[in-house]
Structure 1
Amino acid sequence: MNNKLNEDRKFTLWVLAWPVFIELFLQFLLGTVDTLMVSRISDHAVAVVGFSNQLFNALTTLFATVASGAGIVIAQKIGSRREEEARTVAIIAFKVTAVIGLVLSVILIMLPRPIAEILQLPEELLPLAEVYISIVGGGMILTAIMSTLGTAIRNTGNTKGPMYTAVGMNIIHIVMNYCFIFGAFGFPQWGLTGVAISTVISRLIACIVLMFIFLGTFERRIGLKDFSLFDRKLFKEVLVIGWPLGINSASWVFSQLAIFSFLAILGSTELAARTYMNTLESFCFLLGFSLALASQIQIAHLYGAGKTREAYSSVYRMLRVGLPLVIVNAFILVLFGRHVLGLFTQDHEILSLCASLLWLNLLLQPGKMVNMAIGNALNAVGDTRFTMNISLIFMWVVATGCSYLLGVSLGWGIVAIYVCMISDEYIRAVLSYFRWKDRKYLRLREEDMSRNNSSQLTTEVVHSC
């Protein structure tokens, strides 16, 4: 009884959300410091980092298919009291994503410049991009391992472990950045090359720490021989949930990468402005995103336990808190964003562009919050094909296609591109809301639980006779 109570407490929204929020908030602060440091090299360096990160985000979707699907299955299995199966799923996901990460690392080490050229990066940025992509991209296997281990640990209800690890990793990264950019404490002044090296080293340390946590995260400790485990049926469960998640995620990051390519066509000023805005926009939905992620874990756990009514209402309780926070944060950025941007760059053209984008961000963030929260809820109960389908349609037709048509072809620039992104978020938010309200997958779970209970009752009656 006590174990059940302790487990239920582990999966309350607040207990899950606050470590995720602290992790993301400190990452945001340290990421801001990171961008500030890189801006001391040049605005070109900032543009290269922003562009490269979009490329890396796009490539992570290749292993996010497995990692994200595994995370939801792990939470569902724990909710239904099948921890051994959850443990096996975590081990399988680790092995598969590590192999995918290794393949990506080799490709990025060998072909950094051709990849940047295909994605229309301006000629003056190619030398910096070649160095940064080859070094940071070469550590893609570390990103794959971090993603999978962090997701697995977090979906068992332990959100503190990944939080402490991420904070430590970012502190190490910032200290090393300071040493390599400014040549402090006798270190060589390597500029953007040093930033890339510090990124890889800090991620390596994080992988080691997460592995130690991962080995002891389930009731039965994971040993070396357990890494030979493979269960086709469980892996199929992961893929059934995971492949639409992967395509959904790929749709978003590749559409963002396409939009970054459009901005590169417009010029390095627009590219740098979008990179700075990405940093500021992260501030808007930190707590909201933390609540949405925690809500996904909680809903998957409740769904696995058959508590469908609690699962249904959970997302609305979260939105009542998250949505006002996002709106307030976006308005704060409108008031003070230009002053903050002055810490990163003194380029008047970039600052003027960002001043206009801050107002558009006030419209963007509420739609993004609702879309993210209800989309995560749908994913948690396994309704991943719906979120995939609307992403494929509206991200590419509205956000990407209209961005090129209005922003590049008609020459209306980055403001038109933002309007297209806003439209996409609101359309998908409305569609997701009506899908969640329909309760399709929750009703299927209720029917499944009813059949199981009837079958169990019949068995008990037969045995008693």
Structure 2
Amino acid sequence: MTLENKQEKNKFTLWLLAWPIFIELFLQLLLGAVDILMVSRISDDAVAVVGFSNTLFHALMTLFMTIASGAGILIAQKLGSGKGADARTIAIMAFNVTVLIGIVLSVILYLIPRKIAALFQLSEQLLPLAEVYISIVGGGMVLTAMMATLSTVIRNTGNTKAPMYIAIGMNIVHVFLNYAFIYGAFGFPQWGLTGVAISTVVSRLLATVLLVIMFVGAFEQRIAWSDFKLFNGKLFKEVLKIGWPLGVNMSSWVFTQLVIFTFLAVLGTQELAARTYMNTLESFCFMLGYSIALAVQIQIAHLFGAGRTKEAYSSAYRALRIGLIVVSVNALLLYVFGSQLLGLFTSDQEIIALGVSLLGLNLVLQPGKMLNMALGNSLNALGDTRFTMIVGILSMWLIATGLSYVVGIHMGWGLVGIYLCMIADEYVRGGLSLYRWHDRKYLKRAEQKQAQQTLGVPKSTQSSSSVV
């Protein structure tokens, strides 16, 4: 094995891929937590608006993440099989398409924010705040599209550190501007929630500029301005083949969360605020597990592209074992210190009591979520995205949403009942993904194809050393 091949292989080890993703996710979540913590100093109504708006934005993100996610997996596969030029073309096409989608979303959110908020049953008292926040942050949705695509592309080349560094800088700017606008510090105007929205857009703009600079040098052949005209219909079909089920699955998850938010809105502002605070704390709980799941997706896609199917198969189980330990410990720590942590966000004892009850259930939720993330992402890395889509749609709408209404609203179990249904959904999807991975359908198909291609050809001396 040449020095160049060893360096390429080392880029795709689980640890080297996972820890920068973890830092990046941690800082992104910190950005969200800082938003919630600082906005809570304005009012619980403002917190409810930010929580609802962010859920809405995540739902809309699936429109461009369909392309970005499919492109990311395909880029890792192409690089694994030594087709760097194809990977570069895929990256450019993904960027162009997602920017167009982002522009359309920005215009819509800027023009009719109040109507959108009212459509999802947000209470009348929250509509003025929602109108301000959605118009400003939603108006910058094109920046979110660019950031998501550029980060995904760069990470799937094996360079997970660059997005991490940018996340650090973005958080520093965001925290500074949040403090300045909310409290009127350093000569800034005291603009409250409007200031938080402006801070979000400005920090994302700066991050996008840096990501573009890194993007143009992400491949062996530097990307020039004229290259943005590139389009390859065959490769784009490959992206869509992997990407559209991912997009449907992601949109299904986020839209079910939006529906569940409408259930919470029916229950009351306290339940909506409690769930928003819990989302923040829960995110810190599972983010290391999620970073492992994202890392193993990149690793398995690269191994699969290189034809190293046995290593790809075992990598999923190793990532799952590590992830289960991590999320279980995190969930336990969160439960032990839960009341104190919730007290940082609000002094409302009813909201704190609701949050603490959810933290107990979180001990059960997190292992199921890790099972679902690790095995689902592993299947996606092979291109088996239709399976995860079908399982996701059925489970999320029938269990996480439909059963949530029956148990939480109709039977009167409230927020705890809704949370129990969300737990059941994670375990159903995770269990089915585990069964599918154990079946090795896509891996067997790849092995048969390799055997046919090498029939009558001397066996390769390819190294069988494992990637860890």
Asked if Structure 1 and Structure 2 have the same fold, meaning a TM-score greater than 0.5 normalized by the shorter chain, the answer is: yes
RMSD between aligned alpha carbons?
Answer: 1.0
2:413 maps to 1:412: yes
Structure 1 position 35, deviation (Å):
1.5
Task: State the secondary structure of the residue aligned to 1:157.
Answer: coil
The residue that corresponds to 1:187 in the other structure is 188
The residue that corresponds to 2:320 in the other structure is 319
The 5 A counterparts of 1:49-448 are 49-448=50-449
Quick one: which amino acid aligns to residue 339 of structure 1? Q
Task: State the secondary structure of the residue aligned to 2:345.
Answer: coil
Quick one: which amino acid aligns to residue 249 of structure 2? N
Quick one: which amino acid aligns to residue 432 of structure 1? S
Distance 2:138 2:381 in 1: 30
Quick one: which amino acid aligns to residue 240 of structure 1? K
C-alpha spacing 1:29/1:109, structure 2 compared with 1 (3 Å) = closer
2:26 maps to 1:25: yes
Structure 2: runs of 5 or more not aligned: 459-468
Structure 1 position 26, deviation (Å):
2.7
Kindly provide the CA deviation profile for residues 320-339 of structure 1, in whole angstroms up to 9, marking residues without a partner as x. 21101101110111110110
Preserved contact between residue 122 and residue 267 of structure 1 (Cα < 8 Å): no
Distance 2:343 2:123 in 1: 25
Greater shift in the superposed pair: 55-64 or 14-23: 14-23
Structure 1: runs of 5 or more not aligned: 458-465
Structure 1 position 25, deviation (Å):
2.0
Kindly provide the CA deviation profile for residues 376-428 of structure 1, in whole angstroms up to 9, marking residues without a partner as x. 00000000000000011010000001111111222221000000000000011
Q: Please report the TM-score for the alignment, with normalisation by the length of structure 1.
A: 0.97
Quick one: which amino acid aligns to residue 107 of structure 2? V
Task: State the secondary structure of the residue aligned to 1:218.
Answer: coil
Greater shift in the superposed pair: 164-173 or 218-227: 164-173
Structure 1 position 451, deviation (Å):
2.3
Structure 1 position 455, deviation (Å):
8.0
Quick one: which amino acid aligns to residue 330 of structure 2? N
Structure 1 position 124, deviation (Å):
0.9
Quick one: which amino acid aligns to residue 14 of structure 1? W
Preserved contact between residue 37 and residue 177 of structure 1 (Cα < 8 Å): yes
The residue that corresponds to 1:460 in the other structure is none
Quick one: which amino acid aligns to residue 46 of structure 1? V
Distance 1:350 1:455 in 2: 69
Task: State the secondary structure of the residue aligned to 1:285.
Answer: helix
Structure 1 position 448, deviation (Å):
1.7
Task: State the secondary structure of the residue aligned to 1:121.
Answer: coil
Q: Please report the TM-score for the alignment, with normalisation by the length of structure 2.
A: 0.96
The residue that corresponds to 2:464 in the other structure is none
The number of aligned residues is 457
Identical aligned residues as a percent: 67
Quick one: which amino acid aligns to residue 232 of structure 2? D
Kindly provide the CA deviation profile for residues 295-348 of structure 1, in whole angstroms up to 9, marking residues without a partner as x. 000000000000000000001111121101101110111110110110110001
The residue that corresponds to 1:462 in the other structure is none
Preserved contact between residue 122 and residue 265 of structure 1 (Cα < 8 Å): no
Task: State the secondary structure of the residue aligned to 2:337.
Answer: helix
Kindly provide the CA deviation profile for residues 201-223 of structure 1, in whole angstroms up to 9, marking residues without a partner as x. 11111110000000001000000
Kindly provide the CA deviation profile for residues 12-63 of structure 1, in whole angstroms up to 9, marking residues without a partner as x. 0011011111112233334322211111111111110000000000000000
Structure 1 position 122, deviation (Å):
1.1
Preserved contact between residue 34 and residue 177 of structure 1 (Cα < 8 Å): yes
Task: State the secondary structure of the residue aligned to 1:120.
Answer: coil
Distance 1:144 1:30 in 2: 18
Distance 1:196 1:409 in 2: 36
Task: State the secondary structure of the residue aligned to 2:455.
Answer: helix
Task: State the secondary structure of the residue aligned to 1:52.
Answer: helix
